[in-house]
Structure 1
Amino acid sequence: MPHSTAMPRLELHAISKRYPGCLANDRIDLCIQAGEIHALLGENGAGKSTLMKIIYGVTQPDSGEIRWQGQRVQVRDPAQARRLGIGMVFQHFSLFETLSVTENIALALGREAGTPTQLAPKIRAVAQRYGMGLEPERLVHSLSIGERQRVEIIRCLMQDIHLLILDEPTSVLTPQEVDELFVTLRALAAEGCSILFISHKLGEVRALCHNATVLRGGRVSGDCVPAACSDLELARLMVGDAEGLEASYPKALGGLVRLRVDDLSWRNDDPFGTSLGNLRLEVRCGEIVGIAGVAGNGQDELLALLSGEVRLPNGERERITLDQQPLANLYPDARRKRGLAFVPADRLGHGAVPDMSLADNALLTSFQQGLLSHGMIRGHKVLALANEIIRRYAVKTPDAQTPARSLSGGNLQKFILGREIMQQPKLLVAAHPTWGVDVGAAAAIHRALIALRDAGAAILVISEDLDELFQISDRIGALCSGRLSPLKATAQTHTVEVGRWMAGQFDSPQDAA
């Protein structure tokens, strides 16, 4: 832990930023010492993203002061931030998949990189120094998500970085990869590099970070030492009312088989996609089955085959059945008529049309719920449905005519989930239901899923968040390279075993135990 009397590496004083109708940052103070791992916490819409962009030069503050190693500075753009020694790894990586590790890093370094032959040994040396196994010659598309993250971090370190900003860095990693990342971050901090760590995973913040600053509604709501706080105490700083945030849900056994996936194989012609091999899966009435896995291991392909965006030929239609009725050859609307509801991974653009109002977005998948009459839209019915979703799921929005793009991620996710649940589906398939969502919205989403399960629906949840899956799932498995592990009762397994499954370490035949 760095000594608190030393000159701070970064100081923010009274930073404010206003957008039309929104005060994103309201006189925020932040101080990070050399060698400190500092967490920035807050629910969706608290102002974290805006503050990160200000530090990294993407956005300019309206008022306030930034001091870098004691000197007042104006960070005009990311290039200047990097010259100062500030690097950032975004939640969505910015790598060219058809280029090698060396070529991607060379693009960032420019002329200073030298030839690939000169650069590759330097990359290998930095990787070894911080315990990040990485081969410079490999093409990015052949790397795991954890390895791609290492490329992003090494790319920053090659630019002599003194402050590294990490945005939700563990959201797509296996537990083993998280452990490896933390070893690297502690080694960086020990050498004096400061780290600003943004995460919703409070247990990880408590394990890694020296100090934390918590934002709520664009203001600093508190500072704390995470190791001295419980998850619930941190959650209270973030959302105020912590009721229901520490819920423990009883496990269910499930009844009759509702969804059956029988020896499903599918070849993906996309060179960067994943083919599926011999998947067997059952989801029963009144249970939640969780499927873990690092992104890019067949989740998107399985979701497309379940939703009907990809259909199998008639001869293979029984590979997927709902209540023993063939499903695999049907279009999405026909599957919805059978009782399937779907929450996609991409909420803005796939789950909702950004420029359309919430009312119109409610109509998109609920049109079979009495919202049409002789081919005409019943506007008052659509508006009533949208308002009911907003009320029942506590969606923060001015009204039902608000465009979907104006909502925070958590509120849009609650709206999409509510829209699907209110159709009273027999089967709900939900992809990453709380990805990037704050603890308050996540708790509300979990309660809604449990209530739907207890009403007798079958639910399949695909997520990269193991903590979430263990909290709400009755049975759990993992996808790796298009293969599905055995399914086990959640109470009879643990995160280490599921982490091994996520890395492909399973030999047992698939079953529905």
Structure 2
Amino acid sequence: MPLLELDGLGKSFGRLRVLDDISLSLEAGEVHCLLGENGAGKSTLCNLIFGVHAPDGGTMKLDGAPYRPARPADALAQGIAMVHQHFSLVPDVSVVDNLLLGQSRGVLKRAECAERMQALGQRYGMPLDPYAKVSDLSVGERQRVEIVKCLMREPRLLVLDEPTAVLLPDEIQALLQVCQRVAEQGCGVVLVTHKLAEIRQVARRATVLRGGRIVARSDQPAEDITSLVRAMIQRDLADPSDVLPAAPARAATPSGEAEPVPALMVDGLTVRDAQGVTRLDNFTVMVAPGEIVGVAGVEGNGQVELAGVLSGLMDNTEGRFFVAGEDLTGRSAGAITAAGVGIVPEDRHASGCVTQMSVAENMLLNRLGDYRRWGLLDRAALKRDAQQLMLTYDVRAAGPDAAFSGLSGGNQQKAVLARELTTDGLKFLMAAQPTRGLDVGAVEAVYGHIVGACARGVGVLLISSELDELLHVADRILVLYRGRIMGECEAHASQRERIGAWMAGQTQ
């Protein structure tokens, strides 16, 4: 008997049909991968299983008995836990207090919970400080908290909605091992992922969604990767070296002519936190017009602080930075945007969008003043221009008036990228983890747009934990370790070992 059985599930939000006639089964002890482009309905299906939404039609069975959760608490009570695509943590309290939320009554047994949490972390290779404040953790560490929070419930069905999108390579391997161990203990695992290597490694079966419908299944996903990808994006996927566009070659400055003004010049940026700890130490770099400079490194080594200062959201302690010769040190985020700077933040929800506003308002957020007429917003013009941007950047939604919060994570990311790449007078783009959570087709599109901007003379600083992408797209790569630049080299596959050593803090 299947652990979970779905028969004819459907779900609509208003006039938008998100899922249609979904039927599949999940056995105890298997890892079942869900594939699909951004907006294909994967997260919605996971939310139906977890009780976040109720289906419009169809049935669900759990161990052969009717299953229709009215809320997530009902799913948890029946042994179903879920790691959401977007974090559900309370940032102002500690890790252990987050784990106790909803699981403890009366006197909180923090020490007992912390001990159990640390044992789980060691067992699965995901160590955490139980008393650290969540707001002080890196994105990858927050994801670990979400996963450990689920594992502490000892679920019989674990639903993971793109859990590896924010993890480093070593952390991804640890999580995949978690999936395998949990499945070996008889737990069913639903894993939503875009990464083909993960499917090859852990999937027993795979199901592909496109446009809210099941378009392909496989009982041997490792052997059927090519056909699964074709079903997902409706074309064959070439080798990564052919998929990702290379940065355009920059013409050398003719002899005797002055070098062009750098798109970005950073001189000795230093950031110390409230406790006096140096998070970014004497960071210095120059990005030429039409050049892509990659920043590699394990998360938590100064990338957040670098992006925060360059976007005007964090104060630096020392140093300065210039864009096209203009000193923007200490300027507000609005002033930096007005100077021709595009910012794609690592955490789009925290600083990249306003989820309560519409798609159109978010995509033109930095130019809403252009649509004012006698004190009112010209919504017809706003919707018209947003619709064109949606087509150009393949942002999939019911329409420009749709709530931004209703978009899938990948479509939200593409909308933020569209807005920043169309900034008036764009001279410099700072992109932090721009492809996190995107499917293989969307990754290709994102880098196509970034490389297109580069070809127009825009300088790009690309912060990413995806080393393969940096090696192919960037002109050169520098590595951050504990806030300092450990080394710099050309972006070439032959430099992989050298870059890996720098990321581990080794000098050569």
Do the two structures share a fold, i.e. TM-score over 0.5?
yes
- Which residue of the partner structure matches residue 446 of structure 2? 445
Contact map agreement 2:431 2:462 (CA 8 A) in 1: yes
Gapped regions of structure 1 (runs ≥ 5): 1-6, 509-513
In the TM superposition, residue 168 of structure 1 has moved relative to its aligned partner by 1.5
Matched to 2:454, the amino acid is R
Residue-pair matches, total: 495
Contact map agreement 1:113 1:119 (CA 8 A) in 2: no
Change (3 A) 1:177 1:492: same
1:129-176 superposed Cα distances (whole Å, 9 cap, x missing partner): 445555656665676655554443343333231111112111222211
TM-score, with structure 2 as normaliser: 0.82
Query: What SS does the corresponding residue of 2:434 show, helix, strand or coil?
Result: coil
Contact map agreement 1:176 1:499 (CA 8 A) in 2: no
Change (3 A) 1:395 1:280: same
Give the Cα–Cα distance (whole angstroms) in 2 for the partners of residues 243 and 132 of structure 1. Answer: 33
Residue correspondence of structure 1 range 331-480 to structure 2 within 5 A: 331-336=332-337, 338-347=339-348, 350-354=351-355, 361=362, 364-366=365-367, 385-396=385-396, 404-405=404-405, 407-422=407-422, 423=424, 425-480=426-481
Matched to 2:305, the amino acid is E
Change (3 A) 1:407 1:168: closer
| Matched-pair identity in % | 39
Residue correspondence of structure 1 range 63-462 to structure 2 within 5 A: 63-96=57-90, 102-111=96-105, 115-133=109-127, 146=140, 148-224=142-218, 225-230=220-225, 232-242=226-236, 247-252=243-248, 254=250, 257-269=262-274, 275-293=279-297, 296-310=300-314, 319-336=320-337, 338-347=339-348, 350-354=351-355, 361=362, 364-366=365-367, 385-396=385-396, 404-405=404-405, 407-422=407-422, 423=424, 425-462=426-463
Query: What SS does the corresponding residue of 1:170 show, helix, strand or coil?
Result: helix
Change (3 A) 1:170 1:112: farther
In the TM superposition, residue 227 of structure 1 has moved relative to its aligned partner by 0.8
Change (3 A) 1:163 1:323: same
Contact map agreement 2:271 2:315 (CA 8 A) in 1: no
Query: What SS does the corresponding residue of 2:164 show, helix, strand or coil?
Result: coil
In the TM superposition, residue 121 of structure 1 has moved relative to its aligned partner by 4.9
In the TM superposition, residue 380 of structure 1 has moved relative to its aligned partner by 8.4
Which of residues 41, 45, 48 in structure 1 aligns to 2:39?
A: 45
Query: What SS does the corresponding residue of 1:176 show, helix, strand or coil?
Result: helix
In the TM superposition, residue 241 of structure 1 has moved relative to its aligned partner by 3.8
Contact map agreement 1:348 1:405 (CA 8 A) in 2: no
Matched to 1:258, the amino acid is A
Change (3 A) 1:114 1:500: farther
Give the Cα–Cα distance (whole angstroms) in 2 for the partners of residues 364 and 143 of structure 1. Answer: 29
Give the Cα–Cα distance (whole angstroms) in 2 for the partners of residues 191 and 440 of structure 1. Answer: 35
Gapped regions of structure 2 (runs ≥ 5): 253-259
Query: What SS does the corresponding residue of 2:471 show, helix, strand or coil?
Result: helix
1:10-29 superposed Cα distances (whole Å, 9 cap, x missing partner): 11111112221122221111
Contact map agreement 1:100 1:139 (CA 8 A) in 2: yes
Deviates most, 77-86 or 333-342: 333-342
Contact map agreement 1:175 1:495 (CA 8 A) in 2: no
Contact map agreement 1:319 1:326 (CA 8 A) in 2: yes
Contact map agreement 2:83 2:159 (CA 8 A) in 1: yes
Give the Cα–Cα distance (whole angstroms) in 1 for the partners of residues 68 and 360 of structure 2. Answer: 43
In the TM superposition, residue 223 of structure 1 has moved relative to its aligned partner by 0.9
1:329-367 superposed Cα distances (whole Å, 9 cap, x missing partner): 444455445432333345467444455555555654347
Give the Cα–Cα distance (whole angstroms) in 2 for the partners of residues 73 and 378 of structure 1. Answer: 48
Contact map agreement 2:216 2:228 (CA 8 A) in 1: no
Change (3 A) 1:427 1:39: same
In the TM superposition, residue 67 of structure 1 has moved relative to its aligned partner by 1.7
In the TM superposition, residue 479 of structure 1 has moved relative to its aligned partner by 3.9
TM-score, with structure 1 as normaliser: 0.81
Matched to 1:14, the amino acid is G
Change (3 A) 1:304 1:248: closer
